[in-house]
């Protein structure tokens, strides 16, 4: 049980698997006014940077679930490194349908909303683990500029323009689902560079170490084409943010 191996290769050196930076992750933690002892559930917790740093900085108690064995191992190591292994627990597993017995003060899914079959389904899933008065966090892309053609959307690795909304429409969609948007922290192009460009050096080094691997051809192809594709499409057209929601 794991994610496709290509992601475990290209993102093996990432601490944050999203265009949010460490600084913005800290801004988000502060913006939520987290209290010591607050429980945070994170579906698709990746390498655990959000839970580990918030446990360190705000004394929260976190549980993360992630399908990548590698990222989950890295999250556990990061918790030890930051001295929060007693407060940040990481489980390797499928988070689809995961509902926690201990209701959370913050229930998050940051950049993995396919876990609940899309944004709406993920909000419904997270709501089942939320205590009254708690906050749902959803990390999701939106169109920074509307792609003029479907080909441009595909250049952003979307299936179609309809995959994402413009920011005002995305915010409105939360209201239509019965939620107040109570905070948000948005990524910027520098943050996208940290997420996307960091893959290139990882791919280059991996190729040097694994020239005969069955994925070497695919990784070589990506390293050759990704910088230009990314600069032409994702960097220009795609925005990304974490949105904090409370039921109305």
**Does 68 help bind ligand SAH (rule: CB under 6 A)?**
yes
Chain position whose Cβ is nearest to ligand SAH = 46
Q: Which residues of 108-135 are buried (b: 16+ CB within 10 A; e: fewer)?
A: bbbbbbebbeebeebbebbbebbeeebb
Angle between helices 189-209 and 216-232 (to 10 degrees): 160
List 39's β-bridge partners, or say none. Answer: 61
Binding of residue 75 to ligand SAH (CB under 6 A): no
Q: How many CB atoms lie within 10 A of CB 245?
A: 25
Q: Name the minimum Å distance from CB 195 to ligand SAH.
A: 9
When binding is defined by CB under 6 A, the residue of 19, 29, 44, 62 that contacts ligand SAH is 44
Size of the site for ligand SAH (CB under 6 A): 20
* Residue 141 C-beta: closest distance to ligand SAH, Å: 12
Which DSSP string corresponds to 176-196?
HTTEEEEEEEE--HHHHHHHH
Pick from 29, 38, 40, 45: which binds ligand SAH (CB under 6 A)?
A: 45
For position 90 contacting ligand SAH by CB under 6 A, the verdict is: no
51 part of the interface to ligand SAH, by CB under 6 A: no
Place of tokens 């995961």: 98
Binder of ligand SAH out of 52, 95, 107, 165 (CB under 6 A): 95
Q: Specify the long-range contacts of residues 226-232, CB closer than 8 Å, at least 24 apart.
A: 226/196, 226/199, 226/200, 227/197, 227/200, 229/155, 230/192, 230/196, 230/197, 232/155
Pairing of strands 39-43, 104-110: parallel
Residues 18-37 that bind ligand SAH (CB under 6 A): 18
Minimum CB distance to ligand SAH smaller for 91 or for 152? 91
Among 34, 55, 61, 67, which residue interacts with ligand SAH (rule: CB under 6 A)? 67
Stretch of residues binding ligand SAH (CB under 6 A), selected from 110-118, 120-128, 174-182, 184-192: 110-118
Q: How far is the CB of 112 from ligand SAH (least distance, A)?
A: 4
Cα 191 to the chain's mean position, in Å? 13
Q: Which of 19, 29, 111, 155 is in the footprint of ligand SAH by CB under 6 A? A: 111
**Structure-token pair, residue 124:** 């419904």
Query: Of residues 110, 137, 219, 245, which one binds ligand SAH by CB under 6 A?
Result: 110
Q: How far is CA 5 from CA 9, 15, 88, in A?
A: 6, 17, 25
Q: Please tell me whether residue 3 binds ligand SAH under the rule CB under 6 A.
A: yes
Q: Which residues bind ligand SAH (CB under 6 A)?
A: 3, 16-18, 44-46, 49, 65-68, 71, 94-96, 110-112, 115
């Amino acid at each position: 049980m794991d994610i496709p191996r290509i992601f475990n290769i290209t993102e093996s050196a990432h601490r944050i698997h999203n265009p949010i930076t460490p600084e913005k992750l800290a801004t988000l933690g502060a913006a939520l006014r987290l209290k010591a002892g607050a429980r945070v559930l994170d579906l698709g917790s990746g390498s655990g940077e959000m839970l580990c740093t918030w446990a360190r900085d705000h004394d929260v108690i976190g549980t993360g679930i992630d399908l990548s064995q590698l990222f989950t191992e890295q999250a556990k190591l990061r918790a030890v490194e930051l001295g929060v292994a007693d407060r940040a627990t990481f489980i390797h597993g499928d988070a689809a349908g995961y509902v926690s017995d201990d209701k959370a003060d913050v229930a998050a899914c940051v950049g993995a909303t396919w876990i609940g079959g899309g944004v709406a389904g993920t909000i419904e899933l997270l709501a089942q683990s939320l205590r009254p008065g708690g906050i749902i966090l959803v990390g999701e892309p939106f169109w920074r500029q509307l792609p003029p053609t479907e080909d441009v959307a595909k250049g952003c690795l979307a299936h179609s323009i309809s995959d994402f909304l413009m920011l005002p429409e995305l915010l409105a969609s939360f209201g239509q689902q019965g939620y107040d948007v109570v905070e948000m922290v948005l990524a910027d192009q520098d943050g996208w560079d940290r997420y996307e460009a960091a893959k290139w050096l990882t791919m280059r080094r991996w190729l040097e170490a694994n020239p005969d691997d069955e994925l070497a051809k695919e990784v070589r192809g990506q390293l050759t084409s990704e910088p230009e594709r990314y600069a032409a499409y994702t960097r220009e057209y795609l925005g990304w943010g974490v949105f904090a929601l409370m039921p109305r």
